[in-house]
Chains A and B, each alone.
Chain A
Protein backbone atom coordinates (compact mmCIF):
# COMPACT_ATOMS: atom_id res chain seq x y z
CA UNK A 1 0.00 0.00 0.00
CA UNK A 2 1.41 3.38 -1.00
CA UNK A 3 1.86 6.04 1.65
CA UNK A 4 1.64 9.77 1.18
CA UNK A 5 4.02 11.81 3.33
CA UNK A 6 3.67 15.57 3.66
CA UNK A 7 6.69 17.59 4.71
CA UNK A 8 5.30 20.71 6.31
CA UNK A 9 6.03 23.40 8.89
CA UNK A 10 3.89 26.48 8.43
CA UNK A 11 6.94 28.71 8.70
CA UNK A 12 9.26 29.22 5.74
CA UNK A 13 12.98 28.60 5.65
CA UNK A 14 13.06 25.82 8.23
CA UNK A 15 14.23 23.12 5.82
CA UNK A 16 11.14 21.60 4.20
CA UNK A 17 12.61 21.24 0.72
CA UNK A 18 15.96 20.06 2.06
CA UNK A 19 14.08 17.48 4.11
CA UNK A 20 11.78 16.42 1.25
CA UNK A 21 14.76 15.90 -1.05
CA UNK A 22 16.74 14.01 1.59
CA UNK A 23 14.03 11.64 2.77
CA UNK A 24 12.75 10.96 -0.76
CA UNK A 25 16.29 10.05 -1.79
CA UNK A 26 16.74 7.99 1.37
CA UNK A 27 13.56 5.99 0.80
CA UNK A 28 14.44 5.42 -2.85
CA UNK A 29 17.99 4.33 -1.98
CA UNK A 30 16.44 1.73 0.30
CA UNK A 31 14.78 0.28 -2.78
CA UNK A 32 11.32 1.80 -2.42
CA UNK A 33 9.95 3.43 -5.53
CA UNK A 34 9.40 7.03 -4.46
CA UNK A 35 7.99 10.19 -6.02
CA UNK A 36 8.60 13.64 -4.60
CA UNK A 37 6.23 16.45 -5.55
CA UNK A 38 6.81 20.18 -5.30
CA UNK A 39 3.57 21.91 -4.22
CA UNK A 40 5.05 25.41 -4.27
CA UNK A 41 3.44 26.67 -7.46
CA UNK A 42 5.12 29.85 -8.67
CA UNK A 43 8.14 29.41 -6.40
CA UNK A 44 9.44 25.98 -7.29
CA UNK A 45 12.79 25.01 -5.82
CA UNK A 46 12.74 21.28 -5.29
CA UNK A 47 14.12 20.82 -8.84
CA UNK A 48 17.12 22.93 -7.88
CA UNK A 49 17.78 21.05 -4.63
CA UNK A 50 17.47 17.75 -6.50
CA UNK A 51 19.73 19.01 -9.30
CA UNK A 52 17.26 18.40 -12.12
CA UNK A 53 16.31 22.01 -12.92
CA UNK A 54 17.51 21.76 -16.51
CA UNK A 55 15.46 18.68 -17.22
CA UNK A 56 12.05 20.16 -16.37
CA UNK A 57 9.77 20.02 -19.39
CA UNK A 58 6.29 19.51 -17.98
CA UNK A 59 5.08 20.16 -14.46
CA UNK A 60 2.41 19.28 -11.89
CA UNK A 61 -0.08 21.82 -13.26
CA UNK A 62 0.37 20.52 -16.83
CA UNK A 63 -0.59 17.06 -15.57
CA UNK A 64 -3.63 18.35 -13.67
CA UNK A 65 -4.80 20.24 -16.74
CA UNK A 66 -4.29 17.25 -19.02
CA UNK A 67 -1.58 19.01 -21.05
CA UNK A 68 0.91 16.25 -20.27
CA UNK A 69 0.75 12.73 -18.92
CA UNK A 70 2.20 11.88 -15.55
CA UNK A 71 4.96 9.87 -17.22
CA UNK A 72 5.95 12.84 -19.36
CA UNK A 73 6.19 15.13 -16.34
CA UNK A 74 7.98 12.83 -13.90
CA UNK A 75 11.75 13.29 -13.96
CA UNK A 76 13.85 10.28 -13.09
CA UNK A 77 16.59 11.15 -10.63
CA UNK A 78 20.15 10.98 -11.94
CA UNK A 79 21.50 9.31 -8.79
CA UNK A 80 18.80 6.79 -8.06
CA UNK A 81 16.53 5.07 -10.55
CA UNK A 82 13.86 4.43 -7.90
CA UNK A 83 13.28 8.16 -7.43
CA UNK A 84 11.12 10.49 -9.51
CA UNK A 85 10.51 14.22 -9.19
CA UNK A 86 7.32 16.03 -10.13
CA UNK A 87 8.19 19.72 -10.34
CA UNK A 88 5.83 22.58 -9.55
CA UNK A 89 4.82 25.03 -12.21
CA UNK A 90 6.86 28.21 -12.17
CA UNK A 91 4.53 30.43 -14.16
CA UNK A 92 0.97 29.78 -13.05
CA UNK A 93 -0.68 31.26 -10.04
CA UNK A 94 -1.53 29.29 -6.93
CA UNK A 95 -5.12 28.65 -7.98
CA UNK A 96 -3.88 26.33 -10.69
CA UNK A 97 -3.96 23.49 -8.15
CA UNK A 98 -7.40 22.07 -7.40
CA UNK A 99 -8.31 19.51 -4.79
CA UNK A 100 -9.84 17.27 -7.41
CA UNK A 101 -6.83 17.56 -9.71
CA UNK A 102 -4.31 16.88 -6.96
CA UNK A 103 -6.38 13.94 -5.73
CA UNK A 104 -6.41 12.39 -9.20
CA UNK A 105 -2.65 12.72 -9.68
CA UNK A 106 -2.00 11.19 -6.25
CA UNK A 107 -4.35 8.29 -6.97
CA UNK A 108 -2.48 7.58 -10.17
CA UNK A 109 0.88 7.77 -8.42
CA UNK A 110 -0.29 5.41 -5.69
CA UNK A 111 -0.69 2.63 -8.24
CA UNK A 112 2.97 2.69 -9.10
CA UNK A 113 4.87 4.16 -6.14
CA UNK A 114 5.49 3.02 -2.58
CA UNK A 115 6.08 6.48 -1.13
CA UNK A 116 4.85 9.84 -2.33
CA UNK A 117 6.57 12.77 -0.62
CA UNK A 118 4.71 16.09 -0.81
CA UNK A 119 6.95 19.12 -0.33
CA UNK A 120 4.63 21.76 1.10
CA UNK A 121 5.06 25.48 0.52
CA UNK A 122 5.29 27.74 3.56
CA UNK A 123 2.13 29.32 4.91
CA UNK A 124 -1.36 27.91 5.23
CA UNK A 125 -2.70 28.90 1.84
CA UNK A 126 -3.98 26.63 -0.91
CA UNK A 127 -0.68 24.98 -1.85
CA UNK A 128 0.07 24.08 1.76
CA UNK A 129 -3.50 22.93 2.29
CA UNK A 130 -3.44 20.62 -0.73
CA UNK A 131 0.01 19.26 0.13
CA UNK A 132 -1.27 18.00 3.48
CA UNK A 133 -4.88 17.21 2.56
CA UNK A 134 -4.36 13.66 1.25
CA UNK A 135 -1.46 12.74 3.56
CA UNK A 136 -1.11 9.56 5.61
CA UNK A 137 1.98 10.76 7.48
CA UNK A 138 3.14 14.28 8.30
CA UNK A 139 6.77 15.23 8.87
CA UNK A 140 6.70 18.45 10.87
CA UNK A 141 9.97 20.26 10.28
CA UNK A 142 10.65 22.58 13.19
CA UNK A 143 13.56 24.81 14.17
CA UNK A 144 14.30 25.35 17.87
CA UNK A 145 13.00 28.87 17.66
CA UNK A 146 9.78 30.53 18.89
CA UNK A 147 8.08 31.39 15.61
CA UNK A 148 8.79 27.98 14.11
CA UNK A 149 7.42 26.10 17.13
CA UNK A 150 4.30 28.24 17.19
CA UNK A 151 3.68 27.72 13.47
CA UNK A 152 4.24 23.97 13.84
CA UNK A 153 1.58 23.85 16.52
CA UNK A 154 -0.76 25.75 14.23
CA UNK A 155 -0.03 23.25 11.44
CA UNK A 156 -0.88 20.39 13.81
CA UNK A 157 -4.26 21.97 14.41
CA UNK A 158 -4.85 22.16 10.67
CA UNK A 159 -3.75 18.55 10.10
CA UNK A 160 -6.17 17.32 12.72
CA UNK A 161 -9.16 19.28 11.45
CA UNK A 162 -8.79 20.09 7.75
CA UNK A 163 -7.21 16.98 6.24
CA UNK A 164 -9.07 14.33 4.27
CA UNK A 165 -8.57 11.83 7.09
CA UNK A 166 -10.05 14.30 9.59
CA UNK A 167 -12.98 15.20 7.35
CA UNK A 168 -13.85 11.58 6.69
CA UNK A 169 -13.37 10.52 10.30
CA UNK A 170 -10.62 8.10 9.41
CA UNK A 171 -7.61 7.25 11.51
CA UNK A 172 -5.74 10.56 11.94
CA UNK A 173 -2.56 11.47 10.06
CA UNK A 174 0.55 10.15 11.84
CA UNK A 175 2.57 13.17 12.92
CA UNK A 176 6.35 13.12 13.34
CA UNK A 177 8.77 15.77 14.54
CA UNK A 178 11.97 16.55 12.68
CA UNK A 179 13.90 19.13 14.67
CA UNK A 180 16.30 20.82 12.29
CA UNK A 181 19.12 23.37 12.52
CA UNK A 182 19.83 22.20 16.05
CA UNK A 183 22.97 23.45 17.82
CA UNK A 184 23.69 21.45 20.99
CA UNK A 185 26.38 23.98 21.95
CA UNK A 186 23.90 26.85 21.93
CA UNK A 187 21.35 24.75 23.82
CA UNK A 188 24.00 24.14 26.49
CA UNK A 189 24.57 27.89 26.75
CA UNK A 190 20.85 28.50 27.21
CA UNK A 191 20.62 30.38 23.93
CA UNK A 192 18.44 27.90 22.08
CA UNK A 193 15.33 25.88 22.92
CA UNK A 194 16.31 22.31 23.68
CA UNK A 195 14.73 19.21 22.18
CA UNK A 196 13.04 18.69 25.53
CA UNK A 197 11.63 22.24 25.52
CA UNK A 198 10.19 21.78 22.04
CA UNK A 199 8.75 18.39 22.99
CA UNK A 200 7.17 19.84 26.15
CA UNK A 201 5.16 22.04 23.84
CA UNK A 202 4.52 19.91 20.77
CA UNK A 203 4.78 16.38 22.25
CA UNK A 204 5.20 14.61 18.92
CA UNK A 205 6.83 11.36 17.98
CA UNK A 206 10.46 12.35 17.35
CA UNK A 207 11.81 11.04 14.08
CA UNK A 208 15.15 12.78 14.44
CA UNK A 209 17.25 15.83 15.17
CA UNK A 210 19.16 17.37 12.28
CA UNK A 211 22.11 19.45 13.43
CA UNK A 212 22.89 22.88 12.02
CA UNK A 213 25.42 21.94 9.38
CA UNK A 214 27.55 23.45 6.67
CA UNK A 215 26.88 20.41 4.56
CA UNK A 216 23.29 21.52 3.88
CA UNK A 217 24.38 24.61 1.95
CA UNK A 218 27.09 22.64 0.17
CA UNK A 219 24.48 20.09 -0.86
CA UNK A 220 22.05 22.67 -2.22
CA UNK A 221 24.91 24.49 -3.99
CA UNK A 222 25.64 21.34 -5.93
CA UNK A 223 22.08 20.07 -6.38
CA UNK A 224 22.67 16.86 -4.43
CA UNK A 225 20.30 15.94 -1.59
CA UNK A 226 22.35 16.17 1.61
CA UNK A 227 21.64 12.53 2.49
CA UNK A 228 24.05 11.56 -0.33
CA UNK A 229 26.85 13.23 1.64
CA UNK A 230 27.24 10.21 3.88
CA UNK A 231 30.16 11.68 5.80
CA UNK A 232 28.24 14.77 6.87
CA UNK A 233 26.34 15.00 10.17
CA UNK A 234 23.15 16.25 8.48
CA UNK A 235 23.37 13.47 5.89
CA UNK A 236 23.68 10.89 8.63
CA UNK A 237 20.84 12.47 10.58
CA UNK A 238 18.55 12.12 7.56
CA UNK A 239 19.70 8.54 6.95
CA UNK A 240 18.77 7.72 10.56
CA UNK A 241 15.40 9.42 10.08
CA UNK A 242 14.62 7.30 7.01
CA UNK A 243 15.63 4.14 8.89
CA UNK A 244 13.48 5.03 11.90
CA UNK A 245 10.53 5.84 9.67
CA UNK A 246 10.91 2.41 8.08
CA UNK A 247 10.75 0.86 11.53
CA UNK A 248 14.42 0.25 12.23
CA UNK A 249 15.85 0.97 15.64
CA UNK A 250 18.39 3.80 15.56
CA UNK A 251 19.47 5.59 18.73
CA UNK A 252 19.05 9.35 18.55
CA UNK A 253 22.17 11.37 17.81
CA UNK A 254 23.22 15.00 17.49
CA UNK A 255 21.34 15.98 20.65
CA UNK A 256 24.30 16.50 22.97
CA UNK A 257 27.29 18.67 22.26
CA UNK A 258 30.68 17.24 21.48
CA UNK A 259 32.33 16.80 24.84
CA UNK A 260 36.07 16.75 24.37
CA UNK A 261 38.41 19.22 22.83
CA UNK A 262 40.07 16.45 20.86
CA UNK A 263 36.80 15.18 19.52
CA UNK A 264 36.04 18.65 18.31
CA UNK A 265 39.47 18.91 16.74
CA UNK A 266 39.50 15.56 15.00
CA UNK A 267 35.85 14.58 14.99
CA UNK A 268 33.24 14.57 12.29
CA UNK A 269 32.72 17.71 10.28
Chain B
Protein backbone atom coordinates (compact mmCIF):
# COMPACT_ATOMS: atom_id res chain seq x y z
CA UNK B 1 0.00 0.00 0.00
CA UNK B 2 1.42 3.33 -0.99
CA UNK B 3 1.43 6.42 1.17
CA UNK B 4 -1.20 7.89 -1.11
CA UNK B 5 -3.58 4.99 -0.48
CA UNK B 6 -3.18 5.44 3.21
CA UNK B 7 -4.50 8.98 3.12
CA UNK B 8 -7.30 8.04 0.81
CA UNK B 9 -8.80 5.50 3.13
CA UNK B 10 -9.00 7.95 6.01
CA UNK B 11 -12.16 9.46 4.57
CA UNK B 12 -15.11 7.49 3.24
CA UNK B 13 -15.37 7.65 -0.53
CA UNK B 14 -18.29 9.44 -2.11
CA UNK B 15 -18.68 6.53 -4.52
CA UNK B 16 -19.56 4.11 -1.71
CA UNK B 17 -22.01 6.65 -0.34
CA UNK B 18 -23.57 6.91 -3.80
CA UNK B 19 -23.89 3.15 -4.03
CA UNK B 20 -25.50 2.86 -0.61
CA UNK B 21 -28.05 5.58 -1.39
CA UNK B 22 -28.84 4.01 -4.75
CA UNK B 23 -29.32 0.53 -3.35
CA UNK B 24 -31.87 1.74 -0.82
CA UNK B 25 -33.70 3.93 -3.31
CA UNK B 26 -33.79 1.40 -6.13
CA UNK B 27 -35.00 -1.39 -3.84
CA UNK B 28 -37.81 0.86 -2.65
CA UNK B 29 -38.78 1.94 -6.16
CA UNK B 30 -38.79 -1.63 -7.41
CA UNK B 31 -41.27 -2.80 -4.80
CA UNK B 32 -43.63 0.08 -5.48
CA UNK B 33 -43.29 -0.50 -9.24
CA UNK B 34 -45.29 -3.71 -9.13
CA UNK B 35 -47.93 -2.50 -6.74
CA UNK B 36 -51.42 -1.60 -7.85
CA UNK B 37 -51.93 2.13 -8.16
CA UNK B 38 -54.74 2.22 -5.59
CA UNK B 39 -52.47 1.03 -2.79
CA UNK B 40 -51.25 4.37 -1.35
CA UNK B 41 -54.79 5.77 -1.19
CA UNK B 42 -56.13 2.58 0.37
CA UNK B 43 -53.38 2.61 2.95
CA UNK B 44 -54.29 6.16 3.87
CA UNK B 45 -57.99 5.39 4.22
CA UNK B 46 -57.36 2.24 6.23
CA UNK B 47 -55.24 4.24 8.61
CA UNK B 48 -58.01 6.78 9.08
CA UNK B 49 -60.54 4.08 9.92
CA UNK B 50 -58.27 2.35 12.38
CA UNK B 51 -57.40 5.60 14.08
CA UNK B 52 -61.07 6.20 14.79
CA UNK B 53 -60.92 3.31 17.24
CA UNK B 54 -57.31 2.90 18.23
CA UNK B 55 -54.70 5.52 18.77
CA UNK B 56 -51.83 4.27 16.63
CA UNK B 57 -48.93 6.03 15.00
CA UNK B 58 -48.69 6.63 11.28
CA UNK B 59 -45.78 4.22 11.01
CA UNK B 60 -47.44 1.53 13.12
CA UNK B 61 -49.21 0.35 10.02
CA UNK B 62 -47.52 -1.32 7.12
CA UNK B 63 -49.18 -2.54 3.98
CA UNK B 64 -47.39 -4.88 1.66
CA UNK B 65 -48.46 -6.30 -1.61
CA UNK B 66 -47.02 -9.48 -3.02
CA UNK B 67 -47.64 -11.21 -6.24
CA UNK B 68 -46.68 -14.64 -7.45
CA UNK B 69 -47.81 -16.95 -10.23
CA UNK B 70 -51.34 -17.60 -9.10
CA UNK B 71 -52.16 -15.32 -6.22
CA UNK B 72 -51.89 -11.80 -4.93
CA UNK B 73 -51.49 -11.20 -1.24
CA UNK B 74 -52.25 -8.01 0.57
CA UNK B 75 -50.76 -7.97 4.01
CA UNK B 76 -51.83 -5.42 6.58
CA UNK B 77 -49.76 -5.22 9.71
CA UNK B 78 -50.81 -3.05 12.66
CA UNK B 79 -48.71 -2.70 15.74
CA UNK B 80 -51.01 -1.85 18.65
CA UNK B 81 -49.74 0.52 21.29
CA UNK B 82 -48.69 -0.91 24.64
CA UNK B 83 -51.51 -0.54 27.09
CA UNK B 84 -50.78 -0.37 30.76
CA UNK B 85 -52.18 -3.55 32.33
CA UNK B 86 -54.57 -2.80 35.12
CA UNK B 87 -54.30 -4.87 38.27
CA UNK B 88 -57.32 -4.67 40.52
Q: Choose among B16, B21, B30 the residue that contacts A146 (Cβ–Cβ < 8 A).
A: B21
Q: Once the chains bind, are B22 and A201 in contact (CB under 8 Å)?
A: yes
Flag whether B1 is at the interface (Cβ < 8 A): no
Q: Once the chains bind, are A189 and B19 in contact (CB under 8 Å)?
A: no
Q: Once the chains bind, are A191 and B15 in contact (CB under 8 Å)?
A: yes
**Chain B proximity of A194: nearest CB distance (Å):** 7
Please report the C-alpha to C-alpha distance between residue A189 and residue B25 in the assembled complex, in whole angstroms: 24
Flag whether A230 is at the interface (Cβ < 8 A): no
Q: Once the chains bind, are B14 and A201 in contact (CB under 8 Å)?
A: no
**Chain B proximity of A186: nearest CB distance (Å):** 8
B interface, over-half SS: helix
User: Per-residue 0/1 for B15-40: is the Cβ within 8 Å of any A Cβ (1 yes, 0 no)?
Assistant: 11011011101100110010000000
- Residues in chain B near residue A197, CB distance under 8 A: 15, 18-19
Q: Which of A51-59, A92-100, A148-156, A241-249 lies at the binding interface?
A: A148-156
Q: Which residues in chain B, 12-66, are within 8 Å of chain A measured between CB atoms? A: 13-16, 18-19, 21-23, 25-26, 29-30, 33
Please report the C-alpha to C-alpha distance between residue A149 and residue B27 in the assembled complex, in whole angstroms: 13
- Residues in chain A near residue B15, CB distance under 8 A: 187, 190-194, 197
**Given A153-B30, A154-B29, A157-B30, A190:B14 Cβ within 8 A:** yes
Q: Choose among A153, A161, A191, A193 the residue that contacts B19 (Cβ–Cβ < 8 A).
A: A193
- Residues in chain B near residue A193, CB distance under 8 A: 15, 18-19, 22
Number of chain B residues whose Cβ lies closer than 8 Å to a Cβ of chain A: 15
Q: Once the chains bind, are B23 and A153 in contact (CB under 8 Å)?
A: no
Chain A interface residue bracket vs B? 10 to 19
Q: Once the chains bind, are B8 and A189 in contact (CB under 8 Å)?
A: yes
User: Per-residue 0/1 for A178-198: is the Cβ within 8 Å of any B Cβ (1 yes, 0 no)?
Assistant: 000000000101111110010
- Residues in chain B near residue A108, CB distance under 8 A: none
- Residues in chain A near residue B16, CB distance under 8 A: 190
- Residues in chain B near residue A189, CB distance under 8 A: 8, 13
Please report the C-alpha to C-alpha distance between residue A37 and residue B43 in the assembled complex, in whole angstroms: 44
Please report the C-alpha to C-alpha distance between residue A160 and residue B26 in the assembled complex, in whole angstroms: 16
Flag whether A171 is at the interface (Cβ < 8 A): no
| B9 closest partner in A (C-beta) | A190
Q: Once the chains bind, are A153 and B13 in contact (CB under 8 Å)?
A: no
A-B residue pairs, 4 tightest by C-beta: A190-B13, A197-B19, A157-B33, A190-B15
Known: A157-B33, A189-B13. 20 other contacts (CB 8 A): A145-B18, A146-B22, A149-B22, A150-B25, A150-B26, A150-B29, A157-B30, A187-B15, A190-B13, A190-B14, A191-B13, A191-B14, A193-B15, A193-B22, A197-B15, A197-B18, A197-B19, A201-B19, A201-B22, A201-B23
Interface residues of B (CB under 8 A from A): 8, 13-16, 18-19, 21-23, 25-26, 29-30, 33
**A-B contacts, 12 listed (Cβ < 8 Å):** A145-B18, A146-B21, A150-B26, A150-B29, A153-B30, A189-B13, A190-B8, A190-B14, A193-B18, A193-B19, A200-B23, A201-B23
Interface residues of A (CB under 8 A from B): 145-146, 149-150, 153-154, 157, 161, 187, 189-194, 197, 200-201
